[in-house]
Amino acid sequence: MHIHARDENGEPTQSAEIYREIKEEIENRCDVIFQPSTGGAVHHSPQERMQSLECGPEMATLSTGTCNFGTDVFMNNQVTMETFAQRMLELGVKPEIECFERGMIQNALKLAGKGLLQMPLHFDFVLGIPGACPAQLRDLLYLSESLPDRCTWTAAATGKNQLPTAVAAILLGGHVRVGFEDNIYYRKGELAQSNAQLVERVVRIAEELGREIATVAEARRILSIPQKKEK
């Protein structure tokens, strides 16, 4: 469950305290893999962005490169990447490598080579961001085929590309991310009622296509995350 926090005024925040509150509320209701963003919003500094790592998550995102992001720049230079990866290693947080371009795969593998990331890596291909890689099927094919064996991947795409990209990922053996971060429409002209509605649709499609839905324990196994001890 990939999360971006907001403060009491509805503004994006990377506060560990607010992430911790959200995490507790969710965990009181269901067992999920909680994954805060370390991307935050483009105006957050790297120091602000990495605060979310301190909420005790099993996973967190790690963007391994810089790209244009609409009219802004999403900045992740070598120092930022290494600092984030180092802290995740110390805290035992499994990174989801957020990858907006092909070069970001290479950057992640370089971090693994330096011992800052542990193989097998899990990638999330975020496609269709204005200024970065588009969400055509050939883009997803190229990115997913560029990963070393044993690495796992998820695909996410913005707006109208969300559903076709999710279906393509299901067919290619990947995993999917759907929800309001990337798309707020259920179909053209019709707003989605909830994240759950978007998830339920993709579950129905996966089942029709013969891709079974993982339990949380199976998801941890697939992602090489240690199983949680019973409370």
Query: By the criterion CB under 5 A, which residues form the site for Zn ion?
Result: 37, 181
DSSP state of 55: G
For the chain, how far is it from start to end, CA to CA, in angstroms?
20
Question: Distance between CA atoms of 207 and 152, rounded to whole angstroms?
Answer: 20
The residue among 58 and 181 lying less far from Zn ion, judged by its C-beta, is 181
3-class DSSP assignment, residue 86 = helix
Matching residue, tokens 């805060």: 36
Under 8 Å between Cβ of 93 and 53: yes
3-class DSSP assignment, residue 155 = strand
The residue among 72 and 141 lying less far from Zn ion, judged by its C-beta, is 72
CB of 182 to Zn ion, least distance (A): 8
Annotate 94-119 with DSSP letters as a single string: EEEEEESSTHHHHHHHHHHHTTSS-S
The residue among 171 and 181 lying less far from Zn ion, judged by its C-beta, is 181
According to DSSP, the residues that pair with 175 across neighbouring strands are 154
CB of 35 to Zn ion, least distance (A): 9
CB of 177 to Zn ion, least distance (A): 9
The residue among 142 and 180 lying less far from Zn ion, judged by its C-beta, is 180
CB of 103 to Zn ion, least distance (A): 20
CB of 210 to Zn ion, least distance (A): 29
The residue among 5 and 206 lying less far from Zn ion, judged by its C-beta, is 5
Q: Angle at the Cα of 121 (from 117 to 127), degrees rounded to 5?
A: 115
CB of 200 to Zn ion, least distance (A): 21
Residue nearest to Zn ion (CB): 37
Question: Which residues have CB under 8 Å from 21's CB, separation 6+?
Answer: none
Question: Which residues have CB under 8 Å from 109's CB, separation 6+?
Answer: 121, 148
Matching residue, tokens 């990866």: 85
The residue among 37 and 80 lying less far from Zn ion, judged by its C-beta, is 37
